Amino acid sequence: MKKRVAIFISGGGSNMVSLVRDMQSGDHPAEPVLVLANDAAAGGLKKATELGVPTAVVDHRPFKGDRVAFEDALQAELDKVQPDIICLAGFMRVLTEHFVAPWEGRMLNIHPSLLPKYKGLHTHARALEAGDAEHGVTVHLVTPALDDGPILGQARVPVKDGDTPDELAARVLTQEHVLYPAVLRRFAAGDLTPVYL
């Protein structure tokens, strides 16, 4: 039986596309069953539809900061498709323990830094400001603490002289598209050995 995967997005969904394409590329231990966005304008929704993956939207705004009610609405969408694994892929809402605890060990996130460095936002600018020679991306299991949890994979990129945050972000994103599918493939097969690229 293939593992059923739900992917959460907020924007363009390029990581979601790389995950779905890999799952659809033949022998894979998982299949995509839902792409869920917190914004109906998320560009990734159209891409998911084009790839033949069902979509749902739970807009966080009507909940007016009631995170538990928002999370219950997310869970209600999941209940319809019964996923085994959640992949957060550029999902820009913080999830509380209320949602995370029941999914612990079954929910992955991709974060554009070499964790534990640079949790939170603006990771590329922060790596440049720090003068780091190397930057990268991490896939980790989600725990209630932000951008924390056991590391399932990391990919490194060089920081080049004169890099802007956007140039560095683009270099990292290319590696995100390699790392996340590699980690999911291994994780869905039951292997938690980290992938290092």
Interacting residues with ligand GRF (CB under 6 A): 9, 11-16, 44, 89-90, 110-112, 173, 176
| 177 in catalytic set | no
* CA separation for the pair 43, 37 (Å, rounded): 10
Contacts of 74 (CB under 8 A, 6+ apart): 8, 36, 58, 99
Of the pair 76, 146, the CB lying nearest ligand GRF is at 146
The nearest distance, CB 3 to ligand GRF, in angstroms, is 21
Which residue's CB is nearer to ligand GRF, number 78 or number 139?
139
Burial (CB < 10 A; 0-12, 13-18, 19+), residue 161, is exposed
Smallest gap from Cβ 88 to ligand GRF, in A, equals 8
**30 or 110: whose CB is closer to ligand GRF?**
110
Residue 9 vs 188, nearer CB to ligand GRF: 9
Closest CB 10 distance from ligand GRF, rounded Å: 7
By beta carbon distance, the residue nearest ligand GRF is: 90
CA distance 29 to 79: 21
Q: Which is nearer to ligand GRF, 62 or 120 (CB)?
A: 120
Please identify which of the residues 28, 60, 98, 111 carries the catalytic annotation. Answer: 111
CB of 28 to ligand GRF, least distance (A): 19
Q: Closest approach of Cβ 121 to ligand GRF, in Å?
A: 9
Catalytic residues: 111
